[in-house]
């Protein structure tokens, strides 16, 4: 089945067509059809996971002509490697859960809601599998619209503000990216490329000045999406106002677009610029970790707290990715998936209590453990996963990020970032204590029902994933490893590695950030002797 990817991507569209023919009053049918569509999509995506060979090549590739307009030639070119594989699976895995979570939460305009959810799924999957830059851009924008409507129509009190903020923030970034994309394309045309196919552009040797500008444009677009400090303020608003399913998808998948964008586009396309800006981005990432943790600590709204914790977690991802070594990037990718699972679960949890009490203020709760023991257990597991307790998924990713960054030139950044593990424990546990522990003194909380079967069914897969990825992450790492190794060899600019290789004695590579342990031990860059020579780029122009 060579067109498995397209099938997975466009199945939700099929579901949309089906939904169009269902009268809007039969809400049950609408929900079930949407759920069935996402479940089928997930099942269809499973062969992708099992059939994926652990090597660095793009697999399940489809490459057919699409648009040809003058100098612009776009192709329908899709495929996945170890980096995008898990994000595709994460998307198809989260979607049924998100749909199931809306069964009682959304009562108005169910048909439209479901249609938007399915459109969103297509957009996200398409963006993860696109290997044509223009195709990627199209899907990137396709994701934006349904989310805008979901926040704007089904959101909370302040939904219009949040939706517009979300939209404009993202749009500013993506338009800049579009400009950069077209500029890059013309550079490619000069070099003899004939289409937008991504892989050939990895070979493009651009002068540093050009790289810097293009990198900045791409980086800004992705930084907004991640979101990185100080471009993060749309996130708390969007999350607080969005309906539960919207928050879950936003946190679990949409934010990954930003970090994925760095890994797939910004870094391998402009490796030298990426190296140049690594200290800056690492600084922002570390500020984000600490800043978001401190701000999360004083939040009064549970959902806002979780939103800020997202900013902190994605700071770890960025730090890992910009370590430019296998450990760091592996950790970053794992952390992306972990964050999808854990924070998705946290937003679902917040949704559960919101549905029951129609408030999210921490002060309105307290002592819920007594009334809702199952909920308490699940909440606790997810909390500790978010804190990154060993044995849960959060730990593996966070640890690899930190150790990878420590090995790289970002040593001091790592030390500061590590203190984020203290702060994350503080704000999560404090919140948990205030919501779940203590006396059950609010009379409104005394009749709260524990989770029902549907809600447990929603949470169980996430809990299972938390432990599977924490205890046996090997299958995940094994599949992504070759692709990451290739990426690492790509992002080490040829000139730079040549320079490093020529340095026989272990001394700090010049022209870099120049961080060294104070004890005065030679800080030879660890990559030099571990991953042999810079591999010539194997991609051929398609």
Partner 1 sequence: MLDYVWLIPFFPLVGFLINGLLGKKIKNEAVIGAIGTLAIFSSFIVSCMVLLEMIGLSPENRVFEKVVFPWIHSGNFKADMAFLVDPLSCVMIMVVTGVGSLIHLYSIGYMHGEEGFYRFFAYLNLFCMSMLLLVLGGNMLVMFIGWEGVGLCSYLLIGYYFHKKSAGDAAKKAFVMNRVGDFGFLIGLFTLYWWLGSNHNIWTINFTEIKAASHLLPYGGVVTIATLCFFVGATGKSAQIPLFTWLPDAMEGPTPVSALIHAATMVTAGVYMIGRMSFVFIKSPETMMVIAVVGAATAIFAATIGTAQNDIKRVLAYSTVSQLGFMFLAMGVGAFGAGIFHLMTHAFFKACLFLGSGSVIHAMHHALHKGHLHDDAQDMRNMGGLRKAMPITFLTFLVSTIAISGIPGFSGFFSKDEILWQAFANPYHGNLNYFLWATGAIAACFTAFYMFRLVFMTFFGECRINSKVKEHLHESPLVITIPLMVLGFLALIGGYIGMPKLMGMLPNYFEHWLDPVFELATEYGAAYAHHGEHSSHALEWGLMFGSVVIAVIGIGIAATMYTKNSTLPKRFTDAFPSLHRAVYNKWYIDELYDFAFVNPCKSFGQFLWKGFDVLVIDGVVNGVAGVVMGFSGIFRYMQSGLISNYAWSMAFGVVVMLGYYVFK
| Rounded CA separation 213/266 (Å) | 11
User: How far lies 323's CA from each of 42, 279, 381, 403, 430, in Å?
Assistant: 33, 10, 30, 10, 32
Give, as ranges, the residues between 204 and 243 that touch partner 1 (CB under 8 A). 230, 232-233, 236
Give, as ranges, the residues between 346 and 385 that touch partner 1 (CB under 8 A). 367, 369-370, 373, 384
Give, as ranges, the residues between 450 and 489 that touch partner 1 (CB under 8 A). 472-474, 477, 481
Indicate whether 131 belongs to the interface with partner 1 (CB under 8 A).
Answer: no
When the beta carbons of 218 and 384 are compared against partner 1, the nearer one is 384
Alpha-helical runs (H) found in 358-419:
368-371, 373-387, 393-407, 411-418
| Rounded CA separation 73/185 (Å) | 10
Indicate whether 28 belongs to the interface with partner 1 (CB under 8 A).
Answer: no
Indicate whether 47 belongs to the interface with partner 1 (CB under 8 A).
Answer: no
When the beta carbons of 51 and 373 are compared against partner 1, the nearer one is 373
Give, as ranges, the residues between 94 and 123 that touch partner 1 (CB under 8 A). none
When the beta carbons of 250 and 436 are compared against partner 1, the nearer one is 436
Q: Sign of the C-alpha dihedral, residues 327, 82, 270, 141? A: negative
- Which residue from 18, 142, 208, 429 is in contact with partner 1, where contact means CB under 8 A? 429
Give the CA dihedral 309, 313, 315, 317, nearest 10 degrees.
-160
Q: Is the peptide bond before 227 cis (omega within 30 degrees of 0)?
A: yes
Least spacing, CB of residue 441 vs partner 1, in Å: 10
| Rounded CA separation 337/333 (Å) | 7
For residue 233, report the phi and psi dihedrals to the nearest 5 degrees: -70, -15
Give, as ranges, the residues between 143 and 182 that touch partner 1 (CB under 8 A). 165, 168-169
Indicate whether 526 belongs to the interface with partner 1 (CB under 8 A).
Answer: yes
| Rounded CA separation 16/246 (Å) | 18
- Which residue from 145, 171, 176, 297 is in contact with partner 1, where contact means CB under 8 A? 297
Q: How many chain residues are in contact with partner 1, going by CB under 8 A?
A: 72
- Which residue from 418, 442, 513, 537 is in contact with partner 1, where contact means CB under 8 A? 418
Least spacing, CB of residue 204 vs partner 1, in Å: 27
When the beta carbons of 354 and 427 are compared against partner 1, the nearer one is 427
Least spacing, CB of residue 157 vs partner 1, in Å: 17
Indicate whether 294 belongs to the interface with partner 1 (CB under 8 A).
Answer: yes
Stretch near partner 1 under the rule CB under 8 A, chosen from 57-65, 203-211, 321-329, 351-359: 321-329
Q: Is the peptide bond before 230 cis (omega within 30 degrees of 0)?
A: yes
| Rounded CA separation 396/366 (Å) | 31
């Amino acid at each position: 089945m060579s067109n498995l990817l397209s099938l997975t991507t466009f199945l939700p569209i099929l579901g949309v067509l089906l939904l169009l023919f269902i009268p809007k009053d039969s809400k049950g049918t609408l929900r079930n059809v949407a759920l069935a569509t996402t479940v089928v999509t997930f099942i269809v995506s499973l062969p992708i996971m099992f059939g994926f060979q652990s090597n660095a090549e793009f697999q399940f590739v489809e490459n057919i002509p699409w648009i040809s307009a003058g100098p612009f030639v776009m192709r329908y070119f899709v495929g996945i490697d170890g980096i995008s594989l898990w994000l595709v699976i994460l998307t198809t895995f989260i979607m049924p859960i998100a749909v199931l979570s809306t069964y009682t939460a959304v009562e108005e305009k169910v048909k439209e809601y479901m249609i938007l959810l399915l459109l969103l799924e297509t957009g996200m999957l398409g963006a993860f599998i696109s290997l044509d830059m223009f195709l990627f851009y199209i899907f990137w924008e396709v994701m934006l619209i349904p989310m805008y409507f979901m926040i704007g129509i089904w959101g909370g009190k302040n939904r219009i503000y949040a939706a517009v903020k979300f939209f404009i923030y993202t749009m500013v970034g993506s338009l800049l990216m579009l400009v950069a994309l077209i500029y890059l394309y013309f550079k490619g045309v000069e070099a003899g490329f004939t289409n937008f196919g991504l892989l050939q552009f990895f070979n493009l040797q651009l002068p540093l000045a050009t790289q810097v500008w293009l990198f900045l444009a791409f980086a800004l677009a992705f930084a907004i999406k991640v979101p990185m400090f100080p471009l993060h303020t749309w996130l708390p608003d969007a999350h607080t106002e969005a309906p539960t399913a919207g928050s879950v998808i936003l946190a679990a998948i949409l934010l990954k677009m930003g970090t994925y964008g760095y890994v797939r586009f910004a870094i391998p396309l402009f490796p030298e610029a990426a190296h140049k800006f690594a200290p800056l981005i690492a600084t922002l990432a570390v500020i984000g970790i600490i800043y978001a943790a401190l701000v999360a600590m004083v939040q009064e709204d549970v959902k806002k707290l979780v939103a800020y914790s997202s900013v902190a977690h994605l700071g770890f991802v960025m730090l890992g990715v910009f370590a430019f070594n296998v450990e760091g990037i592996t950790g970053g990718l794992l952390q992306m998936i972990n964050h999808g699972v854990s924070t998705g679960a946290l937003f679902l949890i917040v949704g559960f209590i919101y549905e029951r009490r129609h408030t999210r203020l921490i002060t309105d709760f307290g002592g819920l453990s007594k009334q809702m023991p199952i909920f308490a257990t699940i909440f606790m597991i997810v909390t500790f996963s978010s804190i990154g307790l060993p044995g849960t998924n959060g730990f593996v990713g966070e640890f690899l990020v930190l150790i990878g960054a420590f090995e790289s030139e970002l040593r001091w950044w790592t030390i500061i970032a590590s203190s984020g593990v203290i702060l994350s424990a503080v704000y999560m546990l404090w919140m948990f204590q205030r919501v779940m522990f203590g006396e059950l003194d609010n009379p409104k909380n005394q009749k709260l029902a524990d989770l029902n079967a549907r809600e447990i069914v929603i949470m169980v897969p996430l809990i299972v994933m938390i432990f599977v990825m924490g205890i046996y992450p090997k299958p995940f790492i094994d599949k992504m490893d070759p692709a990451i190794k290739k990426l690492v060899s790509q992002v080490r600019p040829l000139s730079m590695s040549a320079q490093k290789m020529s340095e026989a004695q272990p001394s700090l590579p010049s022209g870099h950030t120049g961080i060294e342990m104070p004890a005065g031990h030679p800080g030879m860059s660890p990559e030099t002797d571990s991953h042999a020579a810079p591999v010539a780029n194997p991609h051929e122009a398609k």
